[in-house]
Amino acid sequence: MGIAGLNGSGKSTLLRVVGGIVKPDAGTVLIEGKEQELGSPRDSIQNGIALVHQELSLAPSLTPLQNIFLGHEYTRHSLLDWHRMREDAEEILSRLGVRIDLDAKTKELGIADQQLVEIGKALSLHSKIICLDEPTSALNEAEVERLFSCVKSLRTEGKSIIFVSHNINEFATLCEELVVLVGGRVGSRFSREMMEPELIADALFAGTQRDRMSVRSSVESKEPLLRLVNIKTRLLRDLSLTVRRGEVLGLYGLLGSGVEELPLALFGLRKHSGKVELEGQDLSIRRPSQATEHGIAYIPPDRRVQGLFTERSIAYNTSILTLDELSKRGILEVWKERRRVKEALSDMQVVYRDTDQRVKELSGGNQQKVLVGKWLTIQPKVIVAHEAFRGIDVVTKDYLKRYFRKLAGSGIGVMLISTELEEIIDACDRILVVKDGVMAAEFSDESFHAADILLAAS
């Protein structure tokens, strides 16, 4: 059975309930007609349920053989029975129709093989129900076909499969039935005969679209500010695009499309080939400091890990990029720093006690505002924001959308990259769709239709 839904529709929560990670507030779970209480992951495993997460849970330094039986090793006379475990592992992989070196380090395997090791682990537990959460997001076409072949063979053995994906084209290939979640409820059901991508796309957005809150950027310009030509990385293939001065450009793609590598390449965090041109000047960016010097600001997707020093003060985080400007003969001029910090925080409407307050004490929305304010201190020419609206309240989302448009109105180029299609539609003047590492489609403000954009990405 397939499960589809937009971000926030409840897919992950549902899988966590089935996996015994989250206890439901109400309702019942029936397994083979009998009511079961899944109060822990162990309860789920004992009831024959295996959850294969999108973020794999394998121990990378162990071998596939060790991972398959981790936590339920065979023993004989109080010693590990490696001979029996190897025989069973080989038999499991044979059933899946794959060959994997059981003695290699798991971290040396490709993602596709690691996922098959996860499935092998589920089979070693004699699981009857296997839940696959976004299993194809990091796989190429050949790897997807191999995974689907393995899943189909499991189905012939009588295993039940719960398959979650953002790629609506995959459901008809693999699933007998599809459930579409909308706002935490079942919005639609599809049989295999009904699984047309257009119908699924329409069902995904049923009742969720609203009038655009933000208004179009005030600067009407065709002048190219940033040009990327034939950019290639591990996932991107000859990707070219232009950010116009004064516009908010959206980039949308499913997980694994390669869209997530573009900001890393542009900011010198990922090796790449191709041409980067800013205001008509060719740039060579091989490290973040070079990007910053040229006026390129990067707002990463995880503010706590990648964007902020949460244990340090608001002042430290806000001024860290401009310490040279705020110092004289190597000594920080505190009065300059405080003025710069207060200006940035005031402009971003950050709610805080004082500038010495630690960032981790702020709400998620105020942390995100501090992160944006930090980058504005360099007076950027281009802002690249990756998942800028993730994990923040609606009020802050709306504020940031308006603020990005304000920045665009001042002549700054803004590029918003997200897997949340509704937010991209609401915030941008133009949307480019990335699929399989290349530009697949372009949509102007007048042609924003969520289902069409999703179909272009799938």
| pLDDT tens sequence across 209-224 | 444 444 555 556 678 8
pLDDT at site 217: 57
Residue scoring higher pLDDT (334 or 13) = 13
Report residue 62's pLDDT band, with 50, 70 and 90 as the boundaries: very high
CATH top-level class of 2-204: alpha beta
Alpha helices in 235-384 (DSSP H): 262-266, 288-293, 314-319, 334-348, 364-376
β-pairing, 248-252 with 430-435? parallel
Alpha helical stretches, state H, 20-81: 41-46, 64-68
Same CATH fold, 224-457 and 2-204? yes
Strand 327-328 relative to strand 331-332: parallel, antiparallel, unpaired?
antiparallel
pLDDT grade, residue 2 (50/70/90)? very high
- For the chain, give every domain's residue range: 2-204, 224-457
Tell me 128's DSSP state. S
CATH 3.40.50.2300 fits 224-457, yes or no: no
The DSSP 8-state label assigned to residue 56 in this structure reads -
Q: Could you tell me which residues come within 8 angstroms of residue 219 by beta carbon, excluding any fewer than 6 positions away? A: 245, 246, 247, 408, 409, 411
Per-residue model confidence (pLDDT) at position 213: 47
Q: Cα(138)–Cα(140) distance, rounded to whole angstroms?
A: 7
Backbone phi and psi for residue 279, each to the nearest 5 degrees, phi listed first:
50, 40
Helices (H) and strands (E) in the chain, counts: 16, 22
Q: Which residues contact 75 (CB under 8 A, 6 or more apart)?
A: 81
367's tokens: 């942390």
Whether 81 shows a pLDDT value over 80: the answer reads: yes
Nearest to 100 by CA among 126, 118, 127: 118
DSSP state of 438: E
Tell me the per-residue pLDDT of 356-377, one tens digit each, with 9 for 90 and over: 888 888 888 888 888 888 888 8
Residue labelled with tokens 């997530």: 260
Is the pTM higher than 0.75? The answer reads no
Supply the Cα-derived Rg of the chain in whole angstroms.
Answer: 25
Q: What is the average pLDDT score of the chain?
A: 84
Q: Is 298 exposed, middle or buried (0-12, 13-18, 19+ CB in 10 A)?
A: buried
Note the pLDDT of residue 216: 59
pLDDT digits (tens, 9 = 90+) for 265-295: 888 888 888 899 998 889 888 888 888 889 8
Summarize the confidence of residues 159-185 as an average pLDDT: 87
Choose among 357, 292, 326: nearest CA to 366. 357
Give the tens place of pLDDT for each residue, 24-52. Answer: 888 888 888 888 888 888 888 888 888 88
CA distances from 344 to 9, 123, 363, 411 (A): 35, 55, 17, 19
CB atoms within 10 A of CB 102: 18
